[in-house]
């Protein structure tokens, strides 16, 4: 089954047509800058542009940077607070004239990895962390998702919110080298390890492509692997989520 998967982020909105049986992209990925401010109307208009770009008239799955419950955004990370309490399934479906289904963006990435990546056949607890504009998380136990964990918003022992301290955006803003940033990221992952005792940690998002530059700074008991899908995990997982809703 083919589904248009879309990853809605704080800096870019990326989409591709996904074969949900294999996890493969069957089109080139297309990216449009996230509008600033990222209001509901502005983001819906960009999503409509993506649908036109792909000449698409089928189901659309969206990984969205918020806690999403029954199609309604309950929070808003790196996008306009106007999204809070917005029925984004309805808004996006009307804007695109396609059936749109939204899931937390990190949960989307996690779904891709659990179906086609390092999570396949992995028992116990798996934590996926997406490292980008913020820090997204997806938590699975024996393959079952606990949705909307949003663990990038916890406060670390130094009193700083995790994603303000250890996201890829924080690395860029403070012009940190990969080793210096890697030590910060290790503090965050160590906190996750002490809270959830995962059997495996998978890293997604933009920074996962640079894993070799900071992996030596990670001192954990838990195995850590870069996502098989790297930065495409959100697109693939969003498509899988939409398929599950049909």
Residue 133 confidence (pLDDT): 81
Residue 138 confidence (pLDDT): 97
| Prediction pTM value | 0.92
Domain match, 158 and 80 both:
no
Domain match, 218 and 127 both:
yes
Domain match, 167 and 99 both:
no
| pLDDT band for position 217 (cuts 50, 70, 90) | very high
Domain match, 50 and 136 both:
no
- The backbone torsions φ and ψ at residue 224, rounded to the nearest 5 degrees and listed phi first, read -125, 130
Which positions ≥6 away from 173 have C-beta within 8 Å? Answer: none
Domain match, 80 and 172 both:
no
| pLDDT band for position 77 (cuts 50, 70, 90) | confident
| pLDDT band for position 208 (cuts 50, 70, 90) | confident
* Helices 40-53 and 88-96, axial angle in degrees (round to 10): 40
128 inside domain: yes
Domain match, 145 and 181 both:
yes
Residue for token pair 């306009």: 80
- Residue 97 in 3-state DSSP? coil
Residue for token pair 């690395």: 171
* CB crowding 211-234: b at 16 or more within 10 Å, else e: beebeeebeeebebbbbbbbbbbb
| pLDDT band for position 45 (cuts 50, 70, 90) | very high
Average pLDDT over residues 219-244: 94
Question: What one-character-per-residue DSSP string does 145-192 give?
Answer: EE----GGGPBPTTSSBHHHHHSHHHHHHTT--HHHHHHHHHHHHHHH
Q: Which two tokens stand for residue 144?
A: 């079952």
Average pLDDT over residues 186-212: 95
| pLDDT band for position 67 (cuts 50, 70, 90) | very high
Which positions ≥6 away from 18 have C-beta within 8 Å? Answer: 2, 3, 4, 5, 24, 25, 26, 235, 236, 239, 240
Residue 10 confidence (pLDDT): 85
Task: Give the range of the structural domain holding residue 152, as residue numbers without chain letter.
Answer: 121-227
Average pLDDT over residues 187-202: 98
Residue 181 or residue 229, greater confidence:
181
112 inside domain: no
Average pLDDT over residues 209-236: 93
Between CA 81 and CA 46 the distance in angstroms is: 18
239 inside domain: yes
Contact criterion met (CB below 8 Å) for 99 and 130: no
Is pLDDT of 229 > 90?
Answer: no
Average pLDDT over residues 124-142: 94
* CB neighbourhood size of 145 (10 A): 19
127 inside domain: yes
Between CA 179 and CA 185 the distance in angstroms is: 10
- The backbone torsions φ and ψ at residue 21, rounded to the nearest 5 degrees and listed phi first, read -80, -30
Task: Name the average pLDDT for the chain.
Answer: 96
Count of domains for the chain: 2
Domain match, 158 and 217 both:
yes
- Look up the CATH number of the domain holding residue 95: 3.30.420.40
Residue 212 confidence (pLDDT): 96
Is pLDDT of 154 > 80?
Answer: yes
Please report, rounded to a whole number, the percentage of residues in the chain having pLDDT higher than 90: 92
Domain match, 67 and 133 both:
no
* CB neighbourhood size of 156 (10 A): 16
Contact criterion met (CB below 8 Å) for 29 and 15: yes
Is pLDDT of 111 > 80?
Answer: yes
* CB crowding 113-142: b at 16 or more within 10 Å, else e: bbbbbbbeebeebbbbbbbbbbbbbbbbee
Residue 158 confidence (pLDDT): 94
> Which of 241, 194, 237 has its CA nearest to residue 219?
194
Average pLDDT over residues 166-184: 97
21 inside domain: yes
115 inside domain: no
116 inside domain: no
Domain match, 13 and 83 both:
yes
Residue 230 confidence (pLDDT): 77
35 inside domain: yes
Domain match, 13 and 99 both:
yes
Please report, rounded to a whole number, the percentage of residues in the chain having pLDDT higher than 70: 100
Average pLDDT over residues 75-84: 93
Domain match, 95 and 125 both:
no
Domain match, 132 and 55 both:
no
Residue for token pair 């860029």: 172
């Amino acid at each position: 089954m083919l589904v248009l998967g879309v990853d809605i982020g704080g800096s870019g909105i990326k989409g591709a047509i996904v074969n949900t049986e294999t996890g493969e992209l069957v089109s080139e990925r297309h990216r449009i800058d996230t509008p600033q401010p990222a209001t509901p109307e502005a983001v819906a208009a960009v999503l409509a542009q993506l649908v036109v770009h792909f000449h698409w008239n089928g189901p659309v799955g969206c990984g969205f940077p918020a806690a999403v419950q029954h199609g309604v955004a309950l929070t808003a990370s790196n996008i306009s607070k106007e999204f809070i309490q917005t029925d984004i399934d309805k808004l996006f479906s009307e804007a695109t004239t396609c059936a749109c289904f939204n899931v937390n963006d990190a949960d989307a990435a996690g779904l891709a990895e659990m179906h086609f990546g390092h999570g396949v056949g992995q028992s116990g607890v798996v934590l996926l962390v997406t490292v980008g504009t913020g820090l997204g998380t997806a938590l699975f136990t024996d393959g079952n998702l606990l949705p909307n964990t949003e663990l990038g918003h916890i406060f670390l022992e130094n009193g700083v919110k995790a994603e303000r301290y250890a996201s890829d955006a924080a690395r860029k803003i403070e012009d940190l080298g990969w080793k210096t940033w890697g030590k910060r990221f290790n503090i965050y992952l160590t906190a996750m390890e002490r809270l959830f005792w995962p059997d495996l940690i998978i890293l997604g998002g933009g920074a996962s492509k640079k894993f070799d530059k900071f992996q030596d700074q990670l001192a954990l008991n838990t195995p850590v692997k870069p996502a098989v899908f790297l930065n495409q995990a959100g697109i693939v997982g969003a498509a899988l989520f939409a398929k599950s809703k049909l």
